[in-house]
């Protein structure tokens, strides 16, 4: 499958309006945002686990990055409640599932293959920090290295938000909303801007809470090979 694979163009997906697509495992469904490949793919998806569902044991040869939006995700290594950000580097394996159900943002095959940095952060317990040079913005850092910067941001109501996304950017709306490029982005809307594009967003009356990944589009993996 090839979906939104051209990284040189702006892409907006209002995922809440999309149908859920069944995965190979009963009770696990996806809304695909971008994808290159078959069942093993370089992919970005919203994934939903029904209560009591689980995936069979598997290995992430290209790494897995996820953020738990609601519910509780779990595997043999522990529980991941809403607000948890995790990076499982290439070569890790697990048996994922959810007793109570959950919804997650999941990115696959988007690591450097030599990366062995594992991350697990319960961002729900973190205290947002006001940005000194960006009025109306609070942030929680999730991950930073030479390739990319991942964070949560809270944008106050009625703000004009500017980000110079020289290395490309992805934004997922977790709550509230904003306008950009003539589109209204609401909960579960996803925006990807290419390398060199600037983000200019205007928040609505409720403000906005977003997950952001920035800089990584300069370094995108080719994904799995046959």
The CATH number for 87's domain is 2.60.120.10
The band of 226, judged by pLDDT with boundaries at 50, 70 and 90, is: very low
- Are 96 and 174 in a shared domain? no
Distances (CA, A) of 119 to 21, 65, 88, 89, 115: 28, 9, 7, 9, 12
pLDDT higher than 50, residue 222: yes
Max CA pair span of the chain: 48
pLDDT in tens, 83-95: 999 999 999 999 9
User: How high is the pLDDT of residue 113?
Assistant: 85
Token code pair at residue 42: 């370089």
Angle (CA) 158 162 166, round 5°: 160
- Are 204 and 128 in a shared domain? yes
How many domains does the chain divide into?
Answer: 2
- pLDDT above 90: percentage of residues in the chain: 89
- Are 187 and 209 in a shared domain? yes
- Are 101 and 150 in a shared domain? no
User: How high is the pLDDT of residue 43?
Assistant: 94
172 found inside a domain: yes
- Are 70 and 28 in a shared domain? yes
- Are 83 and 150 in a shared domain? no
- Are 104 and 192 in a shared domain? no
- Are 131 and 115 in a shared domain? no
* Residue where one domain finishes, among candidates 69, 87, 122: 122
pLDDT higher than 70, residue 214: yes
What's the domain range around 214?
A: 123-218
User: How high is the pLDDT of residue 13?
Assistant: 98
User: How high is the pLDDT of residue 220?
Assistant: 83
User: How high is the pLDDT of residue 225?
Assistant: 61
Token code pair at residue 86: 């995790």
User: How high is the pLDDT of residue 171?
Assistant: 98
- Are 42 and 88 in a shared domain? yes
pLDDT in tens, 169-187: 999 999 999 999 999 999 9
More confident residue, 177 or 41: 177
Token code pair at residue 87: 């990076």
């Amino acid at each position: 499958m090839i979906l939104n694979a051209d990284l040189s163009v702006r892409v907006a997906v209002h995922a809440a309006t999309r149908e859920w697509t069944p995965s190979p495992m009963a009770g696990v469904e996806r809304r695909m945002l971008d994808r290159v490949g078959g069942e093993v793919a370089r992919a970005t998806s919203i994934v939903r686990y029904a209560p009591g569902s689980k995936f069979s044991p598997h290995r992430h040869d290209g790494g897995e990055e996820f953020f738990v939006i609601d519910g509780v995700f779990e595997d043999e290594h522990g529980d991941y409640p809403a607000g948890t950000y995790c990076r499982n580097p290439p070569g890790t394996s697990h048996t994922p599932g959810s007793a109570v159900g959950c919804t997650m943002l999941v990115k696959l095959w988007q690591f450097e293959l030599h990366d062995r940095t594992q991350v697990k952060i319960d961002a729900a317990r973190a205290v947002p920090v006001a940005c000194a040079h960006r009025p109306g913005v609070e942030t929680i850092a999730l991950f930073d290295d030479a390739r990319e910067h991942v964070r949560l941001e809270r944008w106050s109501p009625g703000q004009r938000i500017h980000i110079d996304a020289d290395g490309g950017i992805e934004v997922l709306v977790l709550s509230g909303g904003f306008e950009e490029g003539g589109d209204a982005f609401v909960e579960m809307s996803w925006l990807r801007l290419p390398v060199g594009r600037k983000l200019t967003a205007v928040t609505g009356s409720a403000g906005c809470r977003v997950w952001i990944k920035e800089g990584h589009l300069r370094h995108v993996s080719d994904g799995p090979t046959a």
